[in-house]
Amino acid sequence: MDGIFFLMLRRLRAPIIMLISIYAIAVLGLVLIPGIDGNGKPYHIDFFHAFYFISYTATSIGFGEIPHPFTYQQRLWVLLCIYLAVTGWAYAIGSIFGLMRDESLRKAIAHARFGRKVRRISEPFYLICGYGQTARILCKVLDDLDIRFVILELREERINDIALANFHYDTPSFAGDAANPELLKIAGIEHPHCIGIVGITGNEEANLAIAISAYVLRPQILSICRSRNRSVAENMASFGTNKVINLFETVGRKFARRLQQPNVAQLCDVLADFPGNPIATEPQPPVGHWVIVGFGRFGAAVYQALLAAGCSVTVIDPEPQAQLPPDCFIHALGVDAASLKQAGIEHAVGLLVSHDNDANNLSALATAREINPQLFTVARQNLTHNHILFTAFKPNITSIRAQIIAHECLRAMENPLLADAMALISQQSEAWAAQLLPQLLELCKGKVPEIWRIQFNARNASAVHAMLAQPLPPLRIEHYTHDALNHGDSLRCLALLHRHAGTDTLLPTGDTPLYFGDELLFIGNHHARLAHTAVQESISLLDYIRTGQEQPQSWLFRRIAQYRQDQKNPPLSIAEQGAD
């Protein structure tokens, strides 16, 4: 606020000096010019009454002439002072209006307001740097999950769009360079409730700077950054970035999994999808001859996956590709029938269109389908707002860059255990995944389930009670299938991963005992998540799910229950204890 005050003073320095000068000259003149009192004797008005008269006259209040009617000379001087004061005030008011439109002042006020909003946040929040297509999808999902966030974005027009996003919370946002560590501090990277930072700006260098700032300023929080090439990704990882998202490697990995492990791929897609979305079943890409139109990093990633699956591939690209065999490459844009036929589209089983221009992709897709209607088509959609066009063309798989990155971000933000679980799932057989998929569909009636973690540590009051203070009966995983909010019901949830002493177990059995320090990863519906949250906060609810008996809440009823327990099983006397 001090900066804003002094900035205003600097901008208004000239009008303030001008007003002070006009008032000083007017008061001095009125003091020096003699007047005539009621007795006809000359007198001089004092400085106080001169200032009083000039003040109400210059501000157009007008209380009249004091203490006696003015002389001709006094009135002539007052007349001159009135015009001077009007001119001075007009200049000052014009300067104030000009100041209100001053970009520096508006920026300073927005900066101060942003910092004040961030400091007042009293809930866990994420700091999201960049508000492009990916961030818009990610923020919408976080808002639906009631997770708060702060946004930094370089472009002011995107910050203005946040007001139209209709988030549940008043989201602090500021237009500034997220690569500036000072701005990151104001945005809350050192705030005690900041639990993570996400660097998904369109600038590779800015994302790297965010990763470095997170490592230096707050290394213990979750940091997620996007990179487009491997060298920057390795650089980010060297600074301790928890999750580095390389879009093109992710696409290649997912496509290879769909070719070779369709059930495992669908299971991973469901777990990485946004909670509440309908579970979609995407077809398996066929193995055979493929044509790739557009050989950027996206096309190259899929090219390697197709070769690994035993497919033959012909690439069409307007740029020379020296690394490709000459008989597998056609130098063309790929939107005309001639180049597509030369690539063998007539006998191909699949087509990938991966230009960084949506119009070229759709044109190639339409031309290829006219030649071979049976093609399995995969289309890269670059801009989110073109979804209407891609929906109309109905490719078998549509790969949307923003959604892929948002899924990867959410997976890392939502639960660190999930990434470990999915790594283990990727190693499972197709039969194992096929057996689990129907259970997932049943959990939330065809919708993507929610995923949450339970940590049995000192922050979990119920766990401290059940594992240290009163360890009997021992707590087991099956106890967490009992509904503590609706007694007698079972929860629609599934323990996906159990971590004990550094060892991870997928789909642990219900009789698995739980120990202090363990972690559980659950998938299920929203009610199950709420019930588990309530159990972590209430010892009596945890005692209910492990004993099946409601525990008395008040001191009186606990004493009565203890009395009845003692009547049934009287404590041993000292003599009896000695005999034992």
**Can you tell me the distance from the alpha carbon of 521 to that of 495, in angstroms, rounded to the nearest whole number?**
6
Q: Look at residue 2 in the predicted model and tell me its pLDDT.
A: 63
Contact 185, 200 (CB under 8 A): no
Structural domains in the chain, CATH included, are 1-101 (1.10.287.70), 106-240 (3.40.50.720), 280-401 (3.40.50.720), 449-562 (3.30.70.1450)
Q: What is the pLDDT along the chain (580 residues), one digit of tens a residue?
A: 667 788 788 888 899 999 999 999 999 999 999 988 888 888 899 999 999 999 988 887 777 887 888 899 999 999 999 999 999 999 999 998 888 888 888 888 888 899 999 999 988 899 999 998 888 888 888 888 788 999 999 988 888 888 888 888 888 999 989 889 999 999 999 999 998 898 888 888 888 888 888 888 888 888 888 887 777 777 777 766 667 777 777 777 777 788 888 888 888 888 877 778 788 777 788 888 999 998 887 788 888 888 888 889 999 988 888 888 888 888 888 888 888 888 888 889 999 888 888 888 888 888 998 898 888 888 888 887 777 888 887 888 887 777 777 877 777 776 778 878 888 888 888 888 888 888 888 877 778 888 888 888 877 777 777 777 777 778 888 888 888 777 777 888 889 899 988 888 888 988 888 888 888 898 888 888 888 888 888 777 777 777 766 666 666 666 676 676 677 666 555 555 554 4
Q: Enumerate the β-bridge partners of residue 522.
A: 452, 495
DSSP for 194-205 reads EEEEEE--S-HH
Cα angle 223, 229, 230 (rounded to 5 degrees) comes to: 80
Q: Look at residue 27 in the predicted model and tell me its pLDDT.
A: 93
Output the CA torsion 218→219→223→228 (10° steps): 110
DSSP label at residue 286: P
Q: Look at residue 60 in the predicted model and tell me its pLDDT.
A: 79
Contact 168, 140 (CB under 8 A): no
Please classify residue 137 by burial: count the beta carbons closer than 10 Å to its beta carbon, then call 0-12 exposed, 13-18 middle and 19+ buried. Answer: buried
* CB atoms closer than 10 angstroms to residue 382: 19
Q: Look at residue 575 in the predicted model and tell me its pLDDT.
A: 52
Q: Look at residue 77 in the predicted model and tell me its pLDDT.
A: 93
**Can you tell me the distance from the alpha carbon of 349 to that of 376, in angstroms, rounded to the nearest whole number?**
6
Residue 434's Cβ-side half-sphere holds a number of Cα atoms within 13 Å equal to 5
The two counts, helices (H) then strands (E), for the chain are 24, 18
Question: Which among 440, 520, 444 has a CA at the least distance from the CA of 477?
Answer: 520
Copy the structure tokens of residue 464.
């401290």
What three-state secondary structure class fits 494?
A: strand
Cα angle 552, 457, 483 (rounded to 5 degrees) comes to: 45
- Residue identified by tokens 């307001």 is 113
Q: How far is CA 164 from the centre of its chain?
A: 16
**Can you tell me the distance from the alpha carbon of 537 to that of 166, in angstroms, rounded to the nearest whole number?**
31
Phi, psi angles (nearest 5°) of residue 5 = -60, -45
Q: Look at residue 580 in the predicted model and tell me its pLDDT.
A: 46
First-residue to last-residue Cα distance in the chain? 76
**Can you tell me the distance from the alpha carbon of 490 to that of 448, in angstroms, rounded to the nearest whole number?**
19
Helix (H) or strand (E) holding 50: helix 47-58
Q: Look at residue 573 in the predicted model and tell me its pLDDT.
A: 56
Q: Look at residue 502 in the predicted model and tell me its pLDDT.
A: 84
**Can you tell me the distance from the alpha carbon of 139 to that of 402, in angstroms, rounded to the nearest whole number?**
12
158 contact partners, CB below 8 Å, separation of at least 6: 131, 132, 175
Q: Enumerate the β-bridge partners of residue 289.
A: 312
Copy the structure tokens of residue 211.
């990763």
**Can you tell me the distance from the alpha carbon of 391 to that of 369, in angstroms, rounded to the nearest whole number?**
15
145 contact partners, CB below 8 Å, separation of at least 6: 275, 414
Copy the structure tokens of residue 171.
């989201």
Phi, psi angles (nearest 5°) of residue 353 = -110, 120
